[in-house]
Amino acid sequence: MAKQSNFLGEFIKERKTVGAIAPSSKFLMKKMIAPIDFQKADVIVELGPGNGVFTKNILERMKQTSKLFSFELNTPFYEHISTIIDDKRLILINDTAEKIDIHLEKHGIGKVDYIVSSLPFTVIPKEVKLTIIDKCVKQLKDDGMFIQFQYSLNAKKLLSSKFSQIKIDFSVLNFPPAFVYKCKL
């Protein structure tokens, strides 16, 4: 089970899929979910929920009729979330974000309102990261938003090539401090 104390261990063991050495802070979590209009959102996708800090807070604010699809490739993190969260609105998927379209289609979902991503783009191979971003763009509603955090501004060029509007926020109260990208089509 991937408890907070095991975050560093998973980071060391799974360098290609785990990009954080510690769980996200509540300050970063608030900046990540602040742009979400929970009264409007019917479908939210979360990529890389880790220990579930964003997942729990999204579920607390979502409408009872909304759905949250969370993609976690790391099996210990997936198992941890599945043991601590019991909510019928959560569809927890132990698979790569590259298959976002396949899983959403399987559930009859066409487009989504928001995608909240904690994927470590710095360590993900270029082809994989391009596939993920392209599929996210295709899955977003016209007025939807892709929200991503990174520990550097390295993702700015990639995201700017796919989204017409990007606003960047900064969370200094996180270890390490993080940039929050709020992207629109």
Looking at residue 175, what is its pLDDT? Answer: 87
Q: pLDDT-derived band of residue 149, with 50, 70 and 90 as boundaries?
A: very high
Long-range contact set of residues 127-134: C-beta below 8 Å, sequence gap at least 24:
128/96, 128/98, 129/158, 130/158, 131/98, 132/47, 132/97, 132/98, 132/100, 133/158, 133/159, 133/162, 134/162
Secondary-structure percent of the chain, ordered helix, strand, coil, rounded to 5: 35, 25, 40
- Per-residue H/E/C for 48-78: CCCCCHHHHHHHHHCCCCCEEEEECCCHHHH
pLDDT digit string, tens, across residues 116-143: 999 999 999 999 999 999 999 999 999 9
Based on C-alpha coordinates, what's the Rg of the chain? 15
Number of domains making up the chain: 1
Residue 24 belongs to domain spanning: 4-184
Q: pLDDT-derived band of residue 22, with 50, 70 and 90 as boundaries?
A: low
Looking at residue 39, what is its pLDDT? Answer: 97
Q: What is the pTM of this model?
A: 0.88
Rounded mean pLDDT, 21-47: 92
Q: What's the chain's average pLDDT?
A: 90
Bridge partners of residue 180, in order along the sequence? 149, 169
CATH number for the domain harbouring residue 105: 3.40.50.150
Q: Specify the DSSP class assigned to residue 149.
A: E
More confident residue, 23 or 178: 178
Rounded mean pLDDT, 59-81: 97
